[in-house]
Structure 1
Amino acid sequence: MRARPALAALAVLPALLLTGCGGGDTTTATSPTCPNGKIRFGVEPYEDPAKLKPAYETLAAALQKTLNCPVELKVVEDYSAEVLAMRNGRLEVAQFGPLGYVFASTKADAQPVASFADAKGALTTYTAGIWVPADSPITSVKDLKGRSLALSSPGSTSGDALPRYALKTQGVAEADVRIDYAGGHPEALLALTNGKVDAAEINSQQLATVQAEGGFDPAKYRRIWTSDPIPNDPITVHGKLDPAVRQAITSALLKLGPADVAKVGAFLDVDPPGPLVAVRKETYQPLFDLATALDLTEKDV
């Protein structure tokens, strides 16, 4: 039977109000590009929040300077909390995972405006993967029947939906696989390396991070499945903002340089990074198709 243990507890970081960057007058609350005197920028903890915070501080500070408006950074509890915050008007800007964006677009009117590019200015992508020990008899997705598979957390694009889609397309019923939601990408990887499961999802972003830290030897493991490329996370703006505010935020994001986004890009396997590039809803159409194929709703995110 498919197990869905609760997500590992994640401390919700307090809101961080970034102070002014550089000289110049502080933008007032009456400015059309600074609603309520600040812009609130939400991020869900797809990695350890303690590691994410300083990276996003750099990006938010650069956005604040370019936009000339205080940027309040909020690392929320999970996908659902981020969608709810934007829907309730508590976030003007939010970065979502690709699948999280699918539901944020309909439930919170999140509109994608920018994502992460390589040094040549091309939109970056990543892949989901399923890995087993090098000496495992498992050689394909079909061999996972009757085996245990560690996934990240419910609603993750690469850590849940795409591996489950792989089972579906290979004719393997989820009920025939012992699915263990480990609580995150690092936890799924640890379940595999500690011998707790027969297989685990490891996406290309997590793989790059742990290899750079010396925490994973791919020679000891084997990838049995890889997804099609997934466009990297969109940064979205709330569709109910005044059009002038939306345009100002979008322009400011697209003016950020590689150094402004490099620390965040490192978590997304963007190295070396370029500036942010414009994206649209159509960029993420494959994720809308995936949600339809798996009959997903916002409750699955």
Structure 2
Amino acid sequence: MKKLGIVLMVLFVSILAACGSNQQNDDQASEDKKESKPFTIGVIPVQTEGEIDEAMTKLQGELSNKLDRDVEITTFPDYNGVVEAMNYNQIDMAFFGPLTYVIAHEKSGAKAIVTQLIDGEPFYHSYIITNTDNDWDTLDAFLEQSDSKTFAFGDPNSTSGSLIPSIELQDRGVFEDQDKNSFESVKYTGSHDATALSVQNNQVDAGAIDSAIYDQLLESGKIDGDKLKVIWESEKLFQYPWAVTKETDDETIDKLQNAFLSIEDESILNAFGASSFTKASNEDYESIRQAADKQGLLSE
């Protein structure tokens, strides 16, 4: 009887050990399964040109190597699509415009972790440009007899192509929205390069554009610097952020930041008009948050 009790005790301990081992195996399998899932990144359509695809393929490879995990990058057709993708947990990270970032932060708690440096600084401007054939060299001159002028914004959710210049025009009393303004007409082109070409080809009298993209388009020869001039420049704006979901752990954030900061591939950097990347935080976008709030964009 005593021997039977010892046997039963040994058997019981063995079962407990097996259960514990199985649980550990299940936990490890669950973790392995989680790591085997691709890390997904959504990118806003900064330009309509397709050359960014090659750079995204290279970036995908670099990040996959640094994270030791498959990375998939998808370019979305519009700014709002990236916000909604993160809002519904369809992507793990996104390259946002500053305005779309603060909206995503408000909606889903997105966290900015990286941005690009342009000539060593994490800033850019909103420009208003016009064709060099036009007589006006300042925004004040352009706005004289505004009822005979046409104007173009980029994407409605663009910071430099819509939000910041619309506030400037609003403060000058000539613009409220696409239907209520003092211009002959106002249109949204959907992208910065489309705006630049519309102005260059005299399809509109003036338009708003990202300064870094404007310089990039000039350098690449996609637009003609002899046919365009800047008539207004905003204050400094903090560059476009790469942001992760609020659930992203600190270890993954560190890996991502280190991966971006180590990028030296010129084709990747050129795709963003960048000299390199640097760390970013939610606080860097406070001025954009205030501008968006002023326009009622965070209460929708």
What corresponds to 2:92 in structure 1?
Answer: 92
What corresponds to 1:158 in structure 2?
Answer: 160
Rg comparison, structure with higher value:
2
Q: Choose between structure 1 and 2: higher helix proportion.
A: 2
Amino acid in the other structure paired with 1:173: F
Equivalents in 2 of 1:298, 1:193: separation in Å?
A: 36
What corresponds to 2:13 in structure 1?
Answer: none
1:116-171 residue CA offsets vs partner (Å, 9 max, x unmatched):
1357xx54221111112224233433433221111112111111111111102323
Counterpart secondary structure, 1:130 = strand
Counterpart secondary structure, 1:154 = coil
Deviation, structure 1 residue 219? 3.6
What corresponds to 1:228 in structure 2?
Answer: 235
Q: 1:212 aligns with which of 206, 219, 222?
A: 219
Does the CA-based 8 Å contact 2:39-2:92 persist in structure 1?
Answer: yes
Deviation, structure 1 residue 35? 4.3
Are residue 238 (structure 1) and residue 242 (structure 2) matched?
Answer: no
Amino acid in the other structure paired with 1:124: P
Amino acid in the other structure paired with 1:247: E
Output aligned runs, 1:1-301, within 5 Å. 30-31=31-32, 35=35, 37-48=37-48, 50-117=50-117, 122-142=120-140, 143-144=142-143, 145-146=146-147, 147-174=149-176, 175-177=181-183, 178-241=185-248, 243=249, 246-256=250-260, 257-260=262-265, 262-270=266-274, 273-274=275-276, 276-297=277-298
Does the CA-based 8 Å contact 2:157-2:163 persist in structure 1?
Answer: yes
| Structure 1 unaligned regions, length at least 5 | 1-26
Q: Relative to structure 1, is the Cα distance of residues 153 and 239 closer, same or farther in structure 2, using a 3 angstrom cutoff?
A: same
- In the superposition, the TM-score normalised over structure 1's length comes to 0.79
Q: Relative to structure 1, is the Cα distance of residues 36 and 85 closer, same or farther in structure 2, using a 3 angstrom cutoff?
A: farther
Q: Relative to structure 1, is the Cα distance of residues 28 and 192 closer, same or farther in structure 2, using a 3 angstrom cutoff?
A: farther
Equivalents in 1 of 2:158, 2:61: separation in Å?
A: 28
Does the CA-based 8 Å contact 1:39-1:71 persist in structure 2?
Answer: yes
Does the CA-based 8 Å contact 1:128-1:159 persist in structure 2?
Answer: yes
Q: Relative to structure 1, is the Cα distance of residues 151 and 28 closer, same or farther in structure 2, using a 3 angstrom cutoff?
A: farther
Does the CA-based 8 Å contact 2:48-2:191 persist in structure 1?
Answer: no
Does the CA-based 8 Å contact 2:106-2:298 persist in structure 1?
Answer: no
- In the superposition, the TM-score normalised over structure 2's length comes to 0.79
Does the CA-based 8 Å contact 1:204-1:269 persist in structure 2?
Answer: no
| Structure 2 unaligned regions, length at least 5 | 1-27
Amino acid in the other structure paired with 1:154: P
Equivalents in 2 of 1:45, 1:298: separation in Å?
A: 24
What percentage of residue pairs aligned between the two structures are identical? Answer: 24
Does the CA-based 8 Å contact 2:45-2:78 persist in structure 1?
Answer: yes
Q: CA RMSD in A?
A: 2.4
Does the CA-based 8 Å contact 1:98-1:234 persist in structure 2?
Answer: yes
1:16-75 residue CA offsets vs partner (Å, 9 max, x unmatched):
xxxxxxxxxxx986249x545221111121123622221122112111111111111121
